[in-house]
Structure 1
Amino acid sequence: MEMVQTVLLVVLVFFVIVSIHEWGHFFFAKRAGILVREFAIGFGPKLFSVKKGETRYTLRLIPAGGFVRMAGEDPEIVEVQPGQTIAVRLAGDQVTRIYLDRLEERTDVIRGEVETIDLERSLEIVMDVEGVRESYKVHPQAFMVSKGRDTQIAPLDRQFGSKTVGQRALAIFAGPFMNFVLAFVLFMVYIQMVGVPIDPPDKVMIGQIIEGRPAADANLEVGDEIQSINGEAIGGDYERMIALIGASADKLMQWTVLRDGQPINVEITPILDPEAGEGKVGISPSFPMRSASVGETISYAGKAMKNMTELILQGLKKLVLGDFVLDDLGGPVRTAEVTGQIAKQGIAQLTSWTAILSLYLGIFNLLPFPALDGSRLIFIGLEAVRGRPIDPNRESMVHFIGFAMLMLLMLAVTYNDILRLVRG
Protein backbone atom coordinates (compact mmCIF):
# COMPACT_ATOMS: atom_id res chain seq x y z
CA MET A 1 0.00 0.00 0.00
CA GLU A 2 2.86 2.36 0.85
CA MET A 3 4.47 1.66 -2.54
CA VAL A 4 1.23 2.51 -4.38
CA GLN A 5 0.90 5.74 -2.40
CA THR A 6 4.51 6.70 -3.20
CA VAL A 7 4.03 6.03 -6.91
CA LEU A 8 0.86 8.12 -6.96
CA LEU A 9 2.66 10.99 -5.22
CA VAL A 10 5.52 10.83 -7.75
CA VAL A 11 3.05 10.93 -10.65
CA LEU A 12 1.21 13.82 -9.00
CA VAL A 13 4.43 15.85 -8.62
CA PHE A 14 5.33 15.44 -12.29
CA PHE A 15 1.77 16.17 -13.38
CA VAL A 16 1.53 19.38 -11.33
CA ILE A 17 4.83 20.98 -12.39
CA VAL A 18 4.39 20.14 -16.09
CA SER A 19 0.70 21.08 -16.16
CA ILE A 20 1.27 24.50 -14.55
CA HIS A 21 4.03 25.19 -17.10
CA GLU A 22 1.87 24.29 -20.09
CA TRP A 23 -1.14 26.07 -18.60
CA GLY A 24 0.91 29.29 -18.63
CA HIS A 25 1.49 28.92 -22.38
CA PHE A 26 -2.15 27.91 -22.91
CA PHE A 27 -3.75 30.72 -20.91
CA PHE A 28 -1.81 33.59 -22.47
CA ALA A 29 -2.08 32.12 -25.97
CA LYS A 30 -5.87 31.99 -25.57
CA ARG A 31 -5.90 35.55 -24.22
CA ALA A 32 -4.05 36.66 -27.35
CA GLY A 33 -6.70 34.97 -29.52
CA ILE A 34 -4.43 32.15 -30.71
CA LEU A 35 -6.09 28.86 -31.60
CA VAL A 36 -4.62 26.20 -29.29
CA ARG A 37 -4.99 22.84 -30.97
CA GLU A 38 -3.56 20.57 -28.27
CA PHE A 39 -2.62 20.70 -24.59
CA ALA A 40 -0.38 17.68 -23.98
CA ILE A 41 1.31 16.22 -20.92
CA GLY A 42 4.17 13.96 -21.98
CA PHE A 43 5.47 12.99 -25.41
CA GLY A 44 5.02 10.03 -27.72
CA PRO A 45 1.90 7.87 -28.19
CA LYS A 46 -1.38 9.05 -26.71
CA LEU A 47 -2.67 7.26 -23.62
CA PHE A 48 -5.75 9.41 -23.13
CA SER A 49 -7.37 12.12 -25.22
CA VAL A 50 -10.45 14.29 -24.86
CA LYS A 51 -11.55 17.35 -26.81
CA LYS A 52 -13.15 20.32 -25.09
CA GLY A 53 -13.99 23.39 -27.13
CA GLU A 54 -11.27 24.02 -29.71
CA THR A 55 -8.51 22.22 -27.79
CA ARG A 56 -7.67 18.53 -27.49
CA TYR A 57 -6.24 17.54 -24.09
CA THR A 58 -3.93 14.54 -24.21
CA LEU A 59 -1.88 12.43 -21.84
CA ARG A 60 1.09 10.81 -23.59
CA LEU A 61 3.35 7.88 -22.80
CA ILE A 62 6.76 9.48 -22.13
CA PRO A 63 6.68 11.61 -18.95
CA ALA A 64 9.47 13.96 -20.03
CA GLY A 65 7.57 17.22 -20.31
CA GLY A 66 4.64 18.44 -22.35
CA PHE A 67 3.62 20.94 -24.99
CA VAL A 68 0.92 23.34 -26.16
CA ARG A 69 0.44 23.18 -29.92
CA MET A 70 -0.65 26.55 -31.29
CA ALA A 71 -2.04 27.19 -34.74
CA GLY A 72 0.55 28.40 -37.21
CA GLU A 73 3.58 26.90 -35.46
CA ASP A 74 3.80 23.87 -37.76
CA PRO A 75 2.20 22.72 -41.02
CA GLU A 76 -1.24 21.61 -39.89
CA ILE A 77 -3.71 20.99 -42.70
CA VAL A 78 -3.50 19.50 -46.15
CA GLU A 79 -3.33 22.24 -48.77
CA VAL A 80 -6.15 22.28 -51.32
CA GLN A 81 -5.03 23.02 -54.86
CA PRO A 82 -7.02 24.60 -57.71
CA GLY A 83 -8.48 21.86 -59.86
CA GLN A 84 -8.92 19.50 -56.91
CA THR A 85 -12.37 18.02 -56.36
CA ILE A 86 -13.72 18.47 -52.85
CA ALA A 87 -17.04 18.40 -51.01
CA VAL A 88 -18.35 21.04 -48.62
CA ARG A 89 -21.15 21.02 -46.10
CA LEU A 90 -23.02 24.20 -45.32
CA ALA A 91 -24.71 25.49 -42.20
CA GLY A 92 -26.83 28.40 -43.31
CA ASP A 93 -24.76 30.20 -45.91
CA GLN A 94 -21.30 29.23 -44.56
CA VAL A 95 -19.08 26.21 -45.11
CA THR A 96 -18.53 24.27 -41.86
CA ARG A 97 -16.94 21.10 -43.26
CA ILE A 98 -14.46 20.67 -46.12
CA TYR A 99 -14.03 17.04 -47.24
CA LEU A 100 -10.96 15.98 -49.20
CA ASP A 101 -11.52 12.23 -49.55
CA ARG A 102 -14.27 9.58 -49.67
CA LEU A 103 -16.41 12.15 -51.43
CA GLU A 104 -18.96 9.63 -52.70
CA GLU A 105 -19.76 8.58 -49.14
CA ARG A 106 -20.54 12.09 -47.97
CA THR A 107 -24.18 13.10 -47.66
CA ASP A 108 -25.79 16.54 -47.59
CA VAL A 109 -22.72 18.05 -49.27
CA ILE A 110 -21.91 20.05 -52.38
CA ARG A 111 -19.20 18.59 -54.62
CA GLY A 112 -17.18 20.63 -57.04
CA GLU A 113 -13.81 21.47 -58.53
CA VAL A 114 -11.86 24.14 -56.70
CA GLU A 115 -11.06 27.31 -58.64
CA THR A 116 -9.73 29.40 -55.72
CA ILE A 117 -9.59 28.82 -51.98
CA ASP A 118 -8.42 31.05 -49.13
CA LEU A 119 -8.77 29.72 -45.58
CA GLU A 120 -6.63 32.38 -43.90
CA ARG A 121 -7.71 35.84 -45.07
CA SER A 122 -10.92 36.10 -47.13
CA LEU A 123 -12.28 32.72 -45.90
CA GLU A 124 -13.81 31.95 -49.27
CA ILE A 125 -14.00 28.98 -51.62
CA VAL A 126 -14.89 29.36 -55.31
CA MET A 127 -15.86 26.06 -57.01
CA ASP A 128 -17.13 24.80 -60.34
CA VAL A 129 -20.29 22.93 -59.39
CA GLU A 130 -21.67 21.04 -62.41
CA GLY A 131 -20.49 23.78 -64.74
CA VAL A 132 -21.69 26.65 -62.55
CA ARG A 133 -19.21 28.91 -60.74
CA GLU A 134 -20.26 29.12 -57.08
CA SER A 135 -18.71 31.13 -54.25
CA TYR A 136 -19.02 30.10 -50.60
CA LYS A 137 -18.02 31.86 -47.40
CA VAL A 138 -16.15 29.66 -44.90
CA HIS A 139 -16.96 29.74 -41.19
CA PRO A 140 -13.92 30.84 -39.10
CA GLN A 141 -14.20 27.58 -37.13
CA ALA A 142 -14.77 25.26 -40.08
CA PHE A 143 -13.09 21.85 -40.20
CA MET A 144 -10.96 20.21 -42.86
CA VAL A 145 -11.69 16.47 -43.00
CA SER A 146 -9.13 14.09 -44.51
CA LYS A 147 -8.23 10.46 -43.78
CA GLY A 148 -10.71 10.34 -40.93
CA ARG A 149 -9.15 13.31 -39.16
CA ASP A 150 -10.90 16.61 -38.46
CA THR A 151 -8.65 19.68 -38.28
CA GLN A 152 -10.05 23.10 -37.49
CA ILE A 153 -8.91 25.79 -39.90
CA ALA A 154 -6.95 28.71 -38.48
CA PRO A 155 -7.66 32.12 -40.00
CA LEU A 156 -4.61 34.36 -40.01
CA ASP A 157 -5.77 36.29 -36.94
CA ARG A 158 -5.92 33.00 -34.96
CA GLN A 159 -2.34 31.98 -35.79
CA PHE A 160 0.67 32.37 -33.51
CA GLY A 161 2.73 34.23 -36.11
CA SER A 162 0.07 36.90 -36.69
CA LYS A 163 0.26 38.22 -33.12
CA THR A 164 2.46 41.07 -31.95
CA VAL A 165 5.97 40.43 -30.68
CA GLY A 166 4.80 41.21 -27.15
CA GLN A 167 1.85 38.81 -27.28
CA ARG A 168 3.99 35.95 -28.62
CA ALA A 169 6.80 36.61 -26.14
CA LEU A 170 4.30 36.61 -23.27
CA ALA A 171 2.73 33.33 -24.43
CA ILE A 172 6.18 31.71 -24.49
CA PHE A 173 7.55 33.22 -21.26
CA ALA A 174 4.35 32.43 -19.35
CA GLY A 175 5.29 28.74 -19.08
CA PRO A 176 8.53 29.22 -17.09
CA PHE A 177 6.95 32.13 -15.21
CA MET A 178 4.16 29.91 -13.90
CA ASN A 179 6.81 27.45 -12.68
CA PHE A 180 8.43 30.29 -10.73
CA VAL A 181 5.06 31.26 -9.26
CA LEU A 182 4.34 27.66 -8.27
CA ALA A 183 7.79 27.29 -6.70
CA PHE A 184 7.32 30.44 -4.63
CA VAL A 185 3.86 29.38 -3.46
CA LEU A 186 5.08 25.89 -2.53
CA PHE A 187 8.04 27.31 -0.61
CA MET A 188 5.57 29.45 1.36
CA VAL A 189 3.39 26.40 2.03
CA TYR A 190 6.46 24.48 3.21
CA ILE A 191 7.46 27.28 5.59
CA GLN A 192 3.95 27.39 7.00
CA MET A 193 4.18 23.63 7.56
CA VAL A 194 7.56 23.48 9.30
CA GLY A 195 7.90 27.03 10.65
CA VAL A 196 11.10 29.05 10.99
CA PRO A 197 14.11 28.48 13.29
CA ILE A 198 14.13 30.04 16.75
CA ASP A 199 16.91 32.62 16.77
CA PRO A 200 19.12 32.13 18.67
CA PRO A 201 18.47 28.36 19.01
CA ASP A 202 18.57 26.83 22.48
CA LYS A 203 19.39 23.29 21.28
CA VAL A 204 20.72 21.31 18.32
CA MET A 205 18.94 18.18 17.10
CA ILE A 206 19.78 15.53 14.52
CA GLY A 207 17.86 16.32 11.34
CA GLN A 208 19.32 13.68 9.03
CA ILE A 209 21.67 10.70 9.28
CA ILE A 210 23.71 9.83 6.18
CA GLU A 211 23.98 6.15 5.35
CA GLY A 212 27.47 4.66 5.41
CA ARG A 213 28.81 7.25 7.85
CA PRO A 214 29.69 6.72 11.57
CA ALA A 215 26.41 8.22 12.78
CA ALA A 216 24.46 5.52 10.93
CA ASP A 217 26.28 2.80 12.90
CA ALA A 218 25.92 4.52 16.26
CA ASN A 219 22.86 4.51 18.46
CA LEU A 220 21.58 7.80 17.05
CA GLU A 221 18.17 8.66 15.65
CA VAL A 222 16.69 11.59 13.77
CA GLY A 223 15.20 13.98 16.35
CA ASP A 224 17.76 13.27 19.08
CA GLU A 225 18.82 16.42 20.96
CA ILE A 226 22.63 16.65 21.29
CA GLN A 227 23.22 17.65 24.92
CA SER A 228 26.99 17.23 25.30
CA ILE A 229 30.10 16.03 23.47
CA ASN A 230 33.08 14.75 25.49
CA GLY A 231 31.48 16.27 28.57
CA GLU A 232 31.09 19.75 27.03
CA ALA A 233 27.53 21.10 26.92
CA ILE A 234 26.39 22.01 23.40
CA GLY A 235 23.09 23.83 23.95
CA GLY A 236 22.34 25.68 20.71
CA ASP A 237 25.99 26.16 19.70
CA TYR A 238 26.07 24.27 16.40
CA GLU A 239 29.42 25.80 15.39
CA ARG A 240 31.07 24.47 18.56
CA MET A 241 29.67 21.01 17.85
CA ILE A 242 31.16 21.08 14.33
CA ALA A 243 34.52 22.23 15.72
CA LEU A 244 34.66 19.39 18.25
CA ILE A 245 33.79 16.79 15.60
CA GLY A 246 36.23 18.27 13.11
CA ALA A 247 39.14 18.08 15.60
CA SER A 248 38.40 14.47 16.51
CA ALA A 249 39.03 12.56 13.29
CA ASP A 250 39.63 8.85 14.08
CA LYS A 251 39.22 9.58 17.82
CA LEU A 252 36.52 7.99 19.98
CA MET A 253 34.01 10.56 21.22
CA GLN A 254 31.47 10.39 24.04
CA TRP A 255 28.10 11.93 23.21
CA THR A 256 25.03 12.39 25.35
CA VAL A 257 21.73 12.81 23.50
CA LEU A 258 18.22 13.34 24.82
CA ARG A 259 15.56 11.06 23.34
CA ASP A 260 11.95 11.07 24.54
CA GLY A 261 13.11 12.93 27.66
CA GLN A 262 15.72 10.31 28.52
CA PRO A 263 19.52 10.89 28.29
CA ILE A 264 21.41 8.28 26.22
CA ASN A 265 25.19 7.89 26.07
CA VAL A 266 26.66 7.19 22.64
CA GLU A 267 30.20 6.37 21.47
CA ILE A 268 31.12 7.54 17.97
CA THR A 269 34.38 7.93 16.02
CA PRO A 270 34.45 10.61 13.27
CA ILE A 271 36.20 9.71 10.00
CA LEU A 272 38.59 12.03 8.21
CA ASP A 273 37.10 13.89 5.25
CA PRO A 274 40.04 14.25 2.78
CA GLU A 275 38.55 17.32 1.08
CA ALA A 276 37.72 19.22 4.27
CA GLY A 277 40.71 17.89 6.20
CA GLU A 278 38.61 17.34 9.33
CA GLY A 279 36.42 14.78 11.00
CA LYS A 280 32.84 14.02 9.93
CA VAL A 281 30.17 11.79 11.42
CA GLY A 282 27.48 12.12 8.72
CA ILE A 283 24.65 14.10 10.29
CA SER A 284 22.73 17.22 9.36
CA PRO A 285 21.34 19.41 12.13
CA SER A 286 17.84 20.62 12.82
CA PHE A 287 16.85 23.40 15.19
CA PRO A 288 13.77 24.28 17.27
CA MET A 289 11.09 25.84 15.09
CA ARG A 290 8.22 28.26 15.63
CA SER A 291 5.28 29.34 13.52
CA ALA A 292 6.10 31.85 10.79
CA SER A 293 4.26 35.14 10.35
CA VAL A 294 2.98 36.20 6.93
CA GLY A 295 5.96 38.52 6.44
CA GLU A 296 8.43 35.83 7.51
CA THR A 297 6.78 33.32 5.19
CA ILE A 298 7.23 35.63 2.18
CA SER A 299 10.77 36.56 3.21
CA TYR A 300 11.95 32.97 3.79
CA ALA A 301 10.30 31.82 0.54
CA GLY A 302 12.17 34.57 -1.32
CA LYS A 303 15.45 33.47 0.27
CA ALA A 304 14.75 29.85 -0.65
CA MET A 305 14.08 30.89 -4.27
CA LYS A 306 17.34 32.86 -4.36
CA ASN A 307 19.49 30.14 -2.79
CA MET A 308 18.08 27.33 -4.94
CA THR A 309 18.38 29.44 -8.10
CA GLU A 310 22.08 29.95 -7.38
CA LEU A 311 22.59 26.20 -6.86
CA ILE A 312 20.70 25.33 -10.04
CA LEU A 313 22.69 27.84 -12.09
CA GLN A 314 25.93 26.41 -10.71
CA GLY A 315 24.85 22.95 -11.84
CA LEU A 316 23.85 24.20 -15.30
CA LYS A 317 27.19 25.99 -15.60
CA LYS A 318 28.99 22.68 -15.07
CA LEU A 319 26.75 21.12 -17.72
CA VAL A 320 27.57 23.84 -20.27
CA LEU A 321 31.32 23.71 -19.51
CA GLY A 322 31.35 19.91 -19.70
CA ASP A 323 32.56 19.66 -16.09
CA PHE A 324 30.60 16.49 -15.34
CA VAL A 325 30.39 12.75 -15.93
CA LEU A 326 27.30 10.94 -17.15
CA ASP A 327 26.57 9.61 -13.64
CA ASP A 328 26.16 13.23 -12.49
CA LEU A 329 23.12 13.59 -14.74
CA GLY A 330 19.70 12.25 -13.94
CA GLY A 331 16.75 11.73 -16.25
CA PRO A 332 13.08 11.03 -15.47
CA VAL A 333 13.97 7.68 -13.88
CA ARG A 334 16.40 9.11 -11.33
CA THR A 335 14.16 12.10 -10.67
CA ALA A 336 11.25 9.75 -10.01
CA GLU A 337 13.47 7.63 -7.74
CA VAL A 338 14.56 10.62 -5.66
CA THR A 339 10.99 11.96 -5.57
CA GLY A 340 9.81 8.60 -4.23
CA GLN A 341 12.47 8.65 -1.51
CA ILE A 342 11.50 12.17 -0.47
CA ALA A 343 7.79 11.32 -0.54
CA LYS A 344 8.48 8.74 2.19
CA GLN A 345 9.85 11.53 4.41
CA GLY A 346 6.50 13.27 4.59
CA ILE A 347 4.33 15.79 2.80
CA ALA A 348 6.38 18.77 4.02
CA GLN A 349 9.59 17.53 2.42
CA LEU A 350 7.74 16.53 -0.74
CA THR A 351 6.28 20.05 -0.96
CA SER A 352 9.76 21.58 -0.74
CA TRP A 353 11.12 19.14 -3.34
CA THR A 354 8.24 19.91 -5.72
CA ALA A 355 9.05 23.61 -5.38
CA ILE A 356 12.69 22.89 -6.29
CA LEU A 357 11.68 20.81 -9.34
CA SER A 358 9.29 23.52 -10.51
CA LEU A 359 11.99 26.17 -10.15
CA TYR A 360 14.46 23.97 -12.03
CA LEU A 361 11.98 23.37 -14.86
CA GLY A 362 11.38 27.11 -15.22
CA ILE A 363 15.09 27.97 -15.30
CA PHE A 364 15.98 25.08 -17.61
CA ASN A 365 13.32 26.09 -20.14
CA LEU A 366 14.72 29.61 -20.31
CA LEU A 367 18.12 28.36 -21.50
CA PRO A 368 18.89 29.59 -25.04
CA PHE A 369 18.99 26.02 -26.39
CA PRO A 370 16.98 25.13 -29.54
CA ALA A 371 13.49 23.74 -28.83
CA LEU A 372 13.40 25.31 -25.35
CA ASP A 373 11.38 28.41 -24.51
CA GLY A 374 14.56 30.46 -24.14
CA SER A 375 15.52 29.79 -27.76
CA ARG A 376 12.06 30.74 -28.99
CA LEU A 377 12.26 33.99 -27.05
CA ILE A 378 15.60 34.73 -28.73
CA PHE A 379 14.03 34.30 -32.18
CA ILE A 380 11.21 36.65 -31.17
CA GLY A 381 13.79 39.13 -29.86
CA LEU A 382 15.73 38.97 -33.14
CA GLU A 383 12.50 39.68 -34.99
CA ALA A 384 11.89 42.74 -32.80
CA VAL A 385 15.40 44.04 -33.56
CA ARG A 386 15.35 43.24 -37.30
CA GLY A 387 11.79 44.40 -37.84
CA ARG A 388 10.93 41.18 -39.67
CA PRO A 389 10.68 37.53 -38.61
CA ILE A 390 13.29 34.84 -39.20
CA ASP A 391 12.40 32.41 -42.00
CA PRO A 392 9.86 30.07 -40.30
CA ASN A 393 11.31 27.02 -42.08
CA ARG A 394 14.80 27.76 -40.75
CA GLU A 395 13.52 28.39 -37.25
CA SER A 396 11.52 25.14 -37.32
CA MET A 397 14.62 23.24 -38.43
CA VAL A 398 16.68 24.72 -35.58
CA HIS A 399 14.03 23.72 -33.04
CA PHE A 400 13.69 20.25 -34.56
CA ILE A 401 17.44 19.62 -34.30
CA GLY A 402 17.48 20.92 -30.72
CA PHE A 403 14.54 18.69 -29.77
CA ALA A 404 16.25 15.67 -31.30
CA MET A 405 19.43 16.42 -29.33
CA LEU A 406 17.46 16.77 -26.09
CA MET A 407 15.72 13.45 -26.74
CA LEU A 408 19.06 11.73 -27.39
CA LEU A 409 20.43 13.15 -24.13
CA MET A 410 17.27 12.03 -22.35
CA LEU A 411 17.64 8.50 -23.74
CA ALA A 412 21.31 8.39 -22.66
CA VAL A 413 20.68 9.48 -19.07
CA THR A 414 17.60 7.27 -18.79
CA TYR A 415 19.59 4.26 -20.01
CA ASN A 416 22.31 5.13 -17.48
CA ASP A 417 19.71 5.49 -14.70
CA ILE A 418 18.24 2.07 -15.48
CA LEU A 419 21.71 0.46 -15.52
CA ARG A 420 22.46 2.08 -12.16
CA LEU A 421 19.25 0.69 -10.68
CA VAL A 422 19.93 -2.81 -12.06
CA ARG A 423 23.46 -2.78 -10.65
CA GLY A 424 22.18 -1.54 -7.32
Structure 2
Amino acid sequence: VSGGQTRDVRFDWTPTVNGERQLLGIRYGPDVQATTAPAAFVRAWQVTGEAVPQVIRSFGELFARFLTLNLSRDENVSGPIGTAEIVSRAATVSPWALVQVAILLNLSLAFFNLLPIPGLDGGRILLVLVGSLRGRPLTFSQEQAINLAGFAFVMMLMLFVVVRDVSRFF
Protein backbone atom coordinates (compact mmCIF):
# COMPACT_ATOMS: atom_id res chain seq x y z
CA VAL A 1 0.00 0.00 0.00
CA SER A 2 1.46 3.34 -1.06
CA GLY A 3 -0.39 6.62 -0.65
CA GLY A 4 -3.58 4.75 0.12
CA GLN A 5 -3.38 2.74 -3.10
CA THR A 6 -2.61 -0.92 -3.44
CA ARG A 7 0.09 -1.93 -5.91
CA ASP A 8 0.70 -5.32 -7.44
CA VAL A 9 4.38 -6.26 -7.42
CA ARG A 10 5.33 -9.00 -9.80
CA PHE A 11 8.35 -11.23 -9.38
CA ASP A 12 9.13 -12.89 -12.67
CA TRP A 13 11.60 -15.72 -12.19
CA THR A 14 12.19 -18.56 -14.58
CA PRO A 15 13.33 -21.73 -12.80
CA THR A 16 15.25 -22.94 -15.86
CA VAL A 17 17.15 -21.10 -18.57
CA ASN A 18 18.32 -23.10 -21.58
CA GLY A 19 17.59 -26.27 -19.63
CA GLU A 20 19.82 -25.23 -16.68
CA ARG A 21 18.29 -24.92 -13.22
CA GLN A 22 18.52 -21.37 -11.85
CA LEU A 23 19.09 -20.69 -8.15
CA LEU A 24 17.83 -17.85 -5.98
CA GLY A 25 20.13 -16.36 -3.37
CA ILE A 26 23.25 -14.34 -2.80
CA ARG A 27 26.62 -15.36 -4.12
CA TYR A 28 30.02 -14.14 -2.97
CA GLY A 29 33.45 -14.85 -4.27
CA PRO A 30 35.03 -15.80 -7.55
CA ASP A 31 34.60 -19.55 -7.16
CA VAL A 32 31.11 -19.83 -5.74
CA GLN A 33 29.60 -23.28 -5.75
CA ALA A 34 26.07 -24.26 -4.89
CA THR A 35 25.93 -25.91 -1.48
CA THR A 36 23.53 -26.89 1.23
CA ALA A 37 23.02 -24.92 4.44
CA PRO A 38 24.66 -27.61 6.63
CA ALA A 39 27.70 -27.74 4.32
CA ALA A 40 27.97 -23.94 4.38
CA PHE A 41 27.76 -24.00 8.18
CA VAL A 42 30.55 -26.59 8.39
CA ARG A 43 32.71 -24.58 5.98
CA ALA A 44 32.13 -21.39 7.99
CA TRP A 45 33.33 -23.18 11.14
CA GLN A 46 36.40 -24.48 9.27
CA VAL A 47 37.35 -21.01 8.03
CA THR A 48 36.82 -19.54 11.51
CA GLY A 49 38.92 -22.34 12.99
CA GLU A 50 41.73 -21.47 10.58
CA ALA A 51 41.54 -17.75 11.40
CA VAL A 52 41.39 -18.04 15.20
CA PRO A 53 45.01 -19.24 15.72
CA GLN A 54 46.25 -16.48 13.42
CA VAL A 55 44.35 -13.82 15.37
CA ILE A 56 45.58 -15.16 18.72
CA ARG A 57 49.17 -15.32 17.44
CA SER A 58 48.91 -11.72 16.17
CA PHE A 59 47.67 -10.48 19.55
CA GLY A 60 50.47 -12.34 21.29
CA GLU A 61 53.05 -10.69 19.03
CA LEU A 62 51.44 -7.29 19.59
CA PHE A 63 51.62 -7.64 23.38
CA ALA A 64 55.24 -8.84 23.19
CA ARG A 65 56.16 -5.80 21.06
CA PHE A 66 54.22 -3.50 23.39
CA LEU A 67 55.95 -4.77 26.52
CA THR A 68 59.39 -4.39 24.89
CA LEU A 69 58.44 -1.11 23.13
CA ASN A 70 59.48 -2.66 19.82
CA LEU A 71 58.25 -0.24 17.12
CA SER A 72 59.46 -2.36 14.20
CA ARG A 73 57.03 -3.12 11.42
CA ASP A 74 54.67 -6.05 11.85
CA GLU A 75 52.50 -7.25 8.97
CA ASN A 76 49.97 -8.96 11.26
CA VAL A 77 48.85 -5.94 13.29
CA SER A 78 48.13 -2.46 12.05
CA GLY A 79 46.52 0.67 13.41
CA PRO A 80 43.88 2.88 11.83
CA ILE A 81 46.13 4.06 8.97
CA GLY A 82 47.20 0.52 8.04
CA THR A 83 43.64 -0.72 8.35
CA ALA A 84 42.40 2.02 6.02
CA GLU A 85 45.08 1.02 3.50
CA ILE A 86 44.10 -2.65 3.70
CA VAL A 87 40.40 -1.88 3.29
CA SER A 88 41.18 0.41 0.35
CA ARG A 89 43.27 -2.27 -1.38
CA ALA A 90 40.62 -4.91 -0.75
CA ALA A 91 37.93 -2.64 -2.20
CA THR A 92 39.91 -2.27 -5.42
CA VAL A 93 40.45 -6.03 -5.73
CA SER A 94 36.85 -7.20 -5.43
CA PRO A 95 33.75 -7.01 -3.28
CA TRP A 96 34.59 -10.49 -1.98
CA ALA A 97 38.02 -9.33 -0.77
CA LEU A 98 36.31 -6.45 1.04
CA VAL A 99 33.88 -8.88 2.71
CA GLN A 100 36.80 -11.07 3.80
CA VAL A 101 38.62 -8.08 5.32
CA ALA A 102 35.44 -7.02 7.13
CA ILE A 103 35.05 -10.54 8.53
CA LEU A 104 38.65 -10.60 9.78
CA LEU A 105 38.29 -7.14 11.33
CA ASN A 106 35.14 -8.17 13.17
CA LEU A 107 36.72 -11.43 14.33
CA SER A 108 39.78 -9.54 15.59
CA LEU A 109 37.63 -7.03 17.46
CA ALA A 110 35.59 -9.83 19.00
CA PHE A 111 38.71 -11.59 20.27
CA PHE A 112 40.24 -8.37 21.52
CA ASN A 113 37.06 -7.58 23.43
CA LEU A 114 37.16 -11.03 25.07
CA LEU A 115 40.73 -10.63 26.34
CA PRO A 116 40.79 -10.73 30.15
CA ILE A 117 41.75 -7.06 30.42
CA PRO A 118 39.68 -5.01 32.87
CA GLY A 119 37.53 -2.52 31.01
CA LEU A 120 36.76 -5.01 28.24
CA ASP A 121 34.07 -7.71 28.28
CA GLY A 122 36.69 -10.38 28.94
CA GLY A 123 37.88 -8.34 31.94
CA ARG A 124 34.32 -8.19 33.24
CA ILE A 125 34.06 -11.97 32.95
CA LEU A 126 37.38 -12.27 34.81
CA LEU A 127 36.19 -9.98 37.62
CA VAL A 128 32.98 -12.00 38.02
CA LEU A 129 35.03 -15.22 38.17
CA VAL A 130 37.40 -13.71 40.74
CA GLY A 131 34.43 -12.61 42.82
CA SER A 132 32.88 -16.07 42.68
CA LEU A 133 36.19 -17.73 43.62
CA ARG A 134 36.49 -15.38 46.61
CA GLY A 135 32.96 -16.26 47.68
CA ARG A 136 31.85 -12.64 47.45
CA PRO A 137 31.94 -10.08 44.66
CA LEU A 138 34.48 -7.28 44.56
CA THR A 139 33.38 -3.97 46.00
CA PHE A 140 32.38 -1.17 43.68
CA SER A 141 35.55 0.81 44.48
CA GLN A 142 37.75 -2.25 43.86
CA GLU A 143 36.08 -2.84 40.48
CA GLN A 144 36.43 0.84 39.61
CA ALA A 145 40.16 0.85 40.39
CA ILE A 146 40.76 -2.36 38.43
CA ASN A 147 38.73 -1.10 35.45
CA LEU A 148 40.58 2.24 35.48
CA ALA A 149 43.92 0.40 35.35
CA GLY A 150 42.65 -1.80 32.52
CA PHE A 151 41.35 1.22 30.62
CA ALA A 152 44.72 2.96 31.01
CA PHE A 153 46.45 -0.17 29.70
CA VAL A 154 44.13 -0.36 26.65
CA MET A 155 44.68 3.37 25.93
CA MET A 156 48.48 2.92 26.12
CA LEU A 157 48.21 -0.10 23.83
CA MET A 158 46.15 1.91 21.34
CA LEU A 159 48.67 4.76 21.47
CA PHE A 160 51.48 2.28 20.87
CA VAL A 161 49.68 0.82 17.81
CA VAL A 162 49.02 4.29 16.37
CA VAL A 163 52.65 5.37 16.93
CA ARG A 164 53.84 2.18 15.20
CA ASP A 165 51.43 2.85 12.36
CA VAL A 166 52.61 6.44 11.87
CA SER A 167 56.29 5.54 12.28
CA ARG A 168 56.13 3.54 9.04
CA PHE A 169 56.15 6.85 7.16
CA PHE A 170 59.41 8.07 8.72
TM-score (norm 1): 0.30
Match in the other structure for 1:411 = 159
Write out per-residue CA displacement over residues 110-136 of structure 1, whole angstroms, 9 at most, x where no aligned residue. Answer: xxxxxxxxxxxxxxxxxxxxxxxxxxx
CA RMSD in angstroms, aligned pairs only: 2.6
Show structure 1 runs of 5+ residues with no match: 1-188, 197-288
Match in the other structure for 1:370 = 118
What SS does the aligned partner of 1:344 have? helix
Matched, 1:291 2:126: no
What SS does the aligned partner of 1:370 have? coil
Match in the other structure for 2:47 = 304
Q: How far off its partner does 1:195 sit?
A: 6.7
Match in the other structure for 1:388 = 136
Write out per-residue CA displacement over residues 189-239 of structure 1, whole angstroms, 9 at most, x where no aligned residue. Answer: 99x41276xxxxxxxxxxxxxxxxxxxxxxxxxxxxxxxxxxxxxxxxxxx
Matched, 1:351 2:129: no
CA distance in 1 between counterparts of 2:130 and 2:153 reads: 23
What amino acid sits opposite 2:146 in the alignment?
V
TM-score (norm 2): 0.70
Q: How far off its partner does 1:378 sit?
A: 0.8
Q: How far off its partner does 1:320 sit?
A: 4.1
Q: How far off its partner does 1:409 sit?
A: 2.2
* Number of equivalent positions: 141
Q: How far off its partner does 1:380 sit?
A: 0.9
Match in the other structure for 2:28 = 193
Structure with bigger gyration radius: 1
Q: How far off its partner does 1:379 sit?
A: 0.8
Q: How far off its partner does 1:321 sit?
A: 4.4
Between structures 1 and 2, the one with greater strand share: 1
CA distance in 2 between counterparts of 1:365 and 1:357 reads: 12
CA distance in 2 between counterparts of 1:366 and 1:295 reads: 28
Q: How does 1:200-211 map to 2 (within 5 A)?
A: none
What SS does the aligned partner of 2:28 have? helix
CA distance in 2 between counterparts of 1:381 and 1:195 reads: 46
Q: Give the fraction of aligned pairs with identical amino acids, expressed as a percent.
A: 28
What amino acid sits opposite 1:417 in the alignment?
D
